Amino acid sequence: MPADYEIIKAACARRSLAIDVEIRPVAFKNGELPAANKCHENVARWLHENPKHVAVRGWLDSGGLLEAHSVVADDEGNLFDVTPRDARIRFIRHNGRDEEFFALLPANNQIHCVLFQ
């Protein structure tokens, strides 16, 4: 099996471990707001302006549809999302390196877990 398949299958298997992540309304230092649907870019910019924070890669769980997503961990390890959304999210961490996560994209931005059961 290709490595991508195993990573995706493992993410689907961890759906029961999804956690709620706070959506935190923030602004960048120049007053701009994070852009909708630009989570990876928003997190990169947030980290540039807040170097004590770290990126956490993973997947939004929308009832069997996983979407690639990035959130932030603050200096105490609390996760929050800087990308605007209407409601809290269910988030599954990627178990691996950032390089591995981004190598899955864009072909696997969305994963239909029913295909991996």
Residue 44 domain boundaries:
3-116
pLDDT of residue 79: 96
Domains: count for the chain: 1
Neighbours of 32 (CB within 10 A): 9
Q: What is the pLDDT of residues 32-66, one digit of tens each?
A: 999 999 999 999 999 999 999 999 999 999 888 99
DSSP summary character for residue 116? G
- Residue 65 pairs in a beta bridge with 112
| Model confidence band, residue 1 (pLDDT cutoffs 50, 70, 90) | very low
Query: What pTM, to 2 d.p., does this model score?
Result: 0.91
What is the C-alpha separation between 23 and 28, in angstroms, rounded? 15
Nearest to 24, CA basis, from 53, 3, 66, 51: 53
Nearest to 61, CA basis, from 86, 82, 84, 90: 90
